[in-house]
Chains A and B, each alone.
Chain A
Amino acid sequence: MPQGVDAATFTKALDELAAIVGKEWVFVDELPLSAYRDAYSPLADGEMLPSAAVAPANMEQIQQALKVFNAYKLPIWTFGNGRNFAYGGPAPRQSGYVMFDLKRMNRILEVNEKYGYALVEPGVSYFQLHRHLRKIGSKLWVDPAAPGWGGVMGNALEHGAGYTPYGDHFVMQCGMEVVLADGKVVRTGQGAIEGSQHWQSTKHAAGPHFDGMFTQSNFGIVTKMGIWLMPEPPGYKPFMITYEREEDLAAIFDAVLPLKINQVIPNAAVAVDLLWEVSAKTTRRHYFDGKGPIPDSIRKKIASDHGLGMWNFYAALYGPPPIIENNWKLVEAAMMSIPGAKLHLDRENDPAWDYRVQLMRGEPNMTEFSIMNWIGGGGHINFSPISAPDGKEALSQYNLIKQRCHDFGFDYIGEFLVGWRDMHHILMIMYDRADDGMRKSAYDLFGKLVDEAAGAGFGEYRTHLAFMDQIAKTYKHNDGALWDLHHRLKDVLDPNGILSPGKQGIWPQAMRNQAQSHGRLNKDFKD
């Protein structure tokens, strides 16, 4: 039941919602609601469970439903595809919220071949858009997140990344339609000009740029979003370079930075650690049946058995073949200068190579899920600090995080992804979700990493539901002025506090005080 709402009132609200969306699109039974859980949650059973789910079909139904949510002050949790696993999946920030499931709104409203963009609704997945493009004979690519069932809009709103040159999804987003908490519909940028044909072509318009405010936030419900799509290039050259030593990470990033900044390597290049890379092919239990991190001697055997390095660097070149040929000379000179580097332009029977090559040319797939076999039991949460792509900084961050993983009995399983000027470090903390002790250790490790990374000047770019408050508090310049601003906006735009309360640590006034006085923030795990 939503907090502070009695059963009779809730039933009345559900009746009104059913009259808007149809009874078949209001869910209260256990089975359909089970689809709205975090399948990989690090929390104890029974946390973050919804009270009901409502699935509108269009913007008008959203507007009408918002009237009901406001009237009864029902907290809702809005999502498109709900595949945000490792960060909470579709689950709500707190138990009792009503899931506002926008999956039915899955139309691809426009594909513009000339300017290279699509306009999509919240429920459109990468697979759906990819298949649509191929069906209509388009020469445009999608840039999928690693699991291709994710939502085009949802991933961009969460600042997610892909692996083609269009890999920074928020940067590639252009133009939004947003329903505010009071039902008012706003179009951003050129979309505010009646009859404009340029809503998805340019981000520039008169006045403030609001799009970012509706990402990783709870200020409105995005119902349409433009996304730029990369034209198929005349040439494509994927490659992998393996590096023998862990400390090579510093040299890798010092070599790759000028190549990235000068756009010689145009895509989101990634340095993948040994265990992440090999886990698509084998499992930990094939090598080590003990507790704690895998010993170095076994790591070396794994690397040797599978022809891998301690770091495995993937990138690709795109464009006319003469340009690729020219740029390749620069890449080879820089990246192969590190002692022990081995170049791979193809790898037979290697599923990790196959799926990376597909991702870098915009073909969605789900292969990355196979790395969940590494431990068995599938649980994982991603700790994702972000920084500049500096070699020394990358190595220092790696050493700190690896040591903490080992302290808590976990293997370090991670990758570093380089964007335009940034480096996303993704640590995948894997655990058997049926093992309560392991799950709690993963939770404790994550919490410690947040504080230690912040102490060293690193913030996370995205996080699991359970750590949103803790991470919000690490952004504490000038006594937390940034989150104060978020809260001031929240109170004005959503005075009843119905939209996704607690998303990214942004709470409405009423729940803000209560959450702090009850000490609920950062204390989700109950033994």
Chain B
Amino acid sequence: MAWDVSRRTVVSGGAVGAVVAGLGIGRSAFAQRPRKIIVIEETHVPESRLFAETFINSGRAAQVVRIDRSFNGLLHELEAVEGVLVGLTSDPAAMIAGQILVAGGARPLLQWTHQYRKLRWEHQTVGAPTLLARASVGWPSVLAHHMQDALVGDRQDAELRCQSGHCGLGGKSPGMLVSWAFEVGVQQS
């Protein structure tokens, strides 16, 4: 039995952030085997609803899991799913999903952040800076399209930051969001 115990360097304090670090994981595996996409929608977060709606309208979402403020759905409904889970959610929802999914053997595919500061949205993603920067209120829709491309391998690998123009913050928006994707039900290589 061989344990490769001398090669590891684990660098980040975040639960999943270190492992994901942009979009460098699992690209080839996913591109080879397109799988069912399950969208997590945080129903009280307007950006999350728009993101999920875009996935649904594009015909790419096989299933939508809606969670409320209790986050209980993340615990009860993620146990039995299989496929690729995607979401644009609040930071705590992303943290809880990451903890549950990684402990269950899921593989993180991407994790990007979107933060409202000084009357602008700041996006930290891989690819699509121009599109996101131009979109103000509609950015979750642009993001959903970009993520669909990214998940099938049509994307750049450089990590990028961009800012929107001046825009308002919706009253029910948490103002700090995370977009993420995990692949569930695949053997680790």
Residues of A within 8 A of B (CB): 1, 7, 10-11, 14-15, 18, 23, 26, 28-35, 37-39, 41, 43-47, 49, 51-52, 103, 127, 148-149, 280, 282-283, 285-286, 289, 351, 354-355, 364-367, 369-370, 372-373, 376-378, 433-434
CB-CB under 8 A from B174, the residues of chain A are 283, 373, 376
- Size bracket, chain B contacts: 35 or more
CB-CB under 8 A from B19, the residues of chain A are 30-31, 34
Contact B175 A35, beta carbon cutoff 8 Å: no
Contact A45 B75, beta carbon cutoff 8 Å: no
Checking A31, A33, A283, A366 against B72 with a beta-carbon cut-off of 8 angstroms, the contacting residue is A366
CB-CB under 8 A from B176, the residues of chain A are 283, 373, 376-377
Nearest Cβ on chain A to B30's Cβ, whole angstroms: 15
A51-B5, A52-B5, A286-B175 provided; 18 other pairs, C-beta below 8 A? A29-B8, A30-B19, A31-B188, A34-B16, A34-B102, A39-B13, A46-B12, A46-B13, A127-B75, A282-B171, A355-B70, A366-B72, A366-B75, A369-B71, A369-B92, A369-B96, A373-B90, A377-B176
- Can you list 8 contacts pairing A with B, beta carbon distance less than 8 Å? A7-B6, A28-B3, A46-B11, A283-B174, A283-B176, A365-B72, A370-B90, A373-B176
Contact A37 B69, beta carbon cutoff 8 Å: no
Given the known interface contacts A35-B99, A376-B176, the answer about A30 and B8 at a Cβ–Cβ threshold of 8 Å is yes
CB-CB under 8 A from A49, the residues of chain B are 10
Contact A46 B10, beta carbon cutoff 8 Å: yes
A34-B101 Cα distance, complex, nearest whole Å: 11
User: In chain B between 65 and 102, which residues have their CB closer than 8 angstroms to a CB of chain A?
Assistant: 69-72, 74-76, 90-93, 95-96, 98-99, 102
Contact B169 A286, beta carbon cutoff 8 Å: yes
CB-CB under 8 A from A367, the residues of chain B are 69-71
Closest B residue, CB atoms, query A369:
B92
Per-position binary interface string of chain B over residues 1-29, scored 1 when its CB falls under 8 Å from any chain A CB and 0 otherwise: 11111101011111110110000000000
Checking A31, A45, A285, A378 against B116 with a beta-carbon cut-off of 8 angstroms, the contacting residue is A285
A261-B90 Cα distance, complex, nearest whole Å: 41
Contact A372 B13, beta carbon cutoff 8 Å: no
Contact A370 B69, beta carbon cutoff 8 Å: yes
Does B33 lie at the interface of the complex (its beta carbon under 8 Å from any beta carbon of A)?
no
Contact A372 B92, beta carbon cutoff 8 Å: yes
Residues of B within 8 A of A (CB): 1-6, 8, 10-16, 18-19, 69-72, 74-76, 90-93, 95-96, 98-99, 102-103, 105, 107-108, 113, 115-118, 169, 171, 174-176, 188
CB-CB under 8 A from B8, the residues of chain A are 28-30, 33
Given the known interface contacts A34-B19, A280-B69, the answer about A378 and B12 at a Cβ–Cβ threshold of 8 Å is no
A364-B116 Cα distance, complex, nearest whole Å: 31
Nearest Cβ on chain A to B153's Cβ, whole angstroms: 20
3 tightest CB-CB pairs across the interface, nearest first?
A: A376-B176, A39-B15, A366-B71
CB-CB under 8 A from A26, the residues of chain B are 3
Nearest Cβ on chain A to B122's Cβ, whole angstroms: 11
Nearest Cβ on chain A to B175's Cβ, whole angstroms: 5
Contact B6 A35, beta carbon cutoff 8 Å: no
Counting chain A CB atoms within 10 Å of each CB, the highest count among B5, B108, B169 belongs to B5
CB-CB under 8 A from B116, the residues of chain A are 285
A369-B96 Cα distance, complex, nearest whole Å: 9
Nearest Cβ on chain A to B76's Cβ, whole angstroms: 8
A33-B169 Cα distance, complex, nearest whole Å: 37
CB-CB under 8 A from A34, the residues of chain B are 10, 15-16, 18-19, 102
Contact B13 A37, beta carbon cutoff 8 Å: yes
A8-B74 Cα distance, complex, nearest whole Å: 41
Counting chain A CB atoms within 10 Å of each CB, the highest count among B3, B18, B74 belongs to B3
A127-B70 Cα distance, complex, nearest whole Å: 13
A472-B181 Cα distance, complex, nearest whole Å: 42
Contact B118 A289, beta carbon cutoff 8 Å: yes
Given the known interface contacts A1-B6, A28-B8, the answer about A18 and B1 at a Cβ–Cβ threshold of 8 Å is yes
CB-CB under 8 A from A370, the residues of chain B are 69, 71, 90, 92
CB-CB under 8 A from B99, the residues of chain A are 35, 39
Counting chain A CB atoms within 10 Å of each CB, the highest count among B1, B14, B98, B113 belongs to B14
A303-B5 Cα distance, complex, nearest whole Å: 54
Contact A149 B13, beta carbon cutoff 8 Å: no
Counting chain A CB atoms within 10 Å of each CB, the highest count among B69, B108, B117 belongs to B69
Counting chain B CB atoms within 10 Å of each CB, the highest count among A30, A43, A148 belongs to A30
Closest B residue, CB atoms, query A379:
B13
Counting chain A CB atoms within 10 Å of each CB, the highest count among B4, B72, B115 belongs to B72
CB-CB under 8 A from B3, the residues of chain A are 10-11, 14-15, 26, 28, 52
CB-CB under 8 A from B75, the residues of chain A are 127, 148-149, 366
Contact A378 B5, beta carbon cutoff 8 Å: no
A44-B18 Cα distance, complex, nearest whole Å: 13
Counting chain A CB atoms within 10 Å of each CB, the highest count among B13, B19, B69, B116 belongs to B13
Checking A32, A43, A355 against B13 with a beta-carbon cut-off of 8 angstroms, the contacting residue is A43
Given the known interface contacts A43-B13, A45-B13, A373-B90, the answer about A32 and B102 at a Cβ–Cβ threshold of 8 Å is yes
Closest B residue, CB atoms, query A42:
B13
